[in-house]
A = this chain, B = another copy of it.
């Protein structure tokens, strides 16, 4: 079954919604999970082949309307089992690397205007994300009412809404505090060593 590659499970998930080609999966990903999960062709095609070789999905070479060759993949029982098994497995927290916070952590090394600009740009992104989610939600409510999976799709959307709203609130709070800080410019008082002590890292 090769490496515990998450791409393969994503593929199994999408194929569980219906048979389709690699190209179709890519499109579906962009339209549905792109906000929290995306895949590139460079991952999809090799993974499809591996799944096919592993006997979790079936490949049928078809000719589409225009006479173009198309490889349609379908999930089988072994694939469905593998999908469900993955869903049952404990989920490792994703590695986080938030560049904005790294910049802000060293915020005393640059001027206030710079920090403000970064926060405002981030805030704008969060607001536009929220708008985007609302659009998707309306489309879903119209196009998928009655669909048994709709609630689950809405769960992931609500995640985005909670998350972005919280980040906007954080931006506002941070901007307010920032305005009351002395603007030392980029030449701050250096040396005076950091008060960090060995922390008992909460193991994962």
Contact = CB atoms under 8 A, between A and B. Distances in A.
Interface of A: 6, 9-10, 13, 16-18, 27-28, 30-38, 80, 83-84, 86-88, 90-110, 114-115, 117-118, 121-122, 125, 128-129, 131-132, 135-136, 139-140, 143-144, 147-149, 151-153, 155-156, 158-159, 162-163, 165-167, 169-170, 173-174, 177-178, 181, 184, 186, 188-199, 201-202, 204
A108 B156 contact: no
A204 B38 CA distance: 15
16 contacts: A17-B190, A31-B196, A34-B201, A37-B99, A80-B186, A83-B106, A84-B186, A87-B114, A88-B117, A91-B121, A94-B99, A101-B155, A104-B152, A107-B152, A155-B178, A166-B166
A119 to B, nearest CB: 9
A94 B105 contact: no
B193 A156 contact: no
A153 B95 contact: no
Q: 8 closest Cβ contacts across the A-B interface?
A: A143-B195, A166-B166, A107-B152, A31-B196, A144-B195, A13-B106, A162-B170, A108-B149
A31 B106 CA distance: 15
Contacts of A34: 201
A10 B156 CA distance: 32
Contacts of A109: 13, 16, 80, 83-84, 87
Contacts of A191: 18
A135 B192 CA distance: 22
Given A9-B102, A101-B156, A128-B202, 6 more contacts: A37-B101, A90-B121, A94-B99, A135-B199, A139-B199, A162-B170
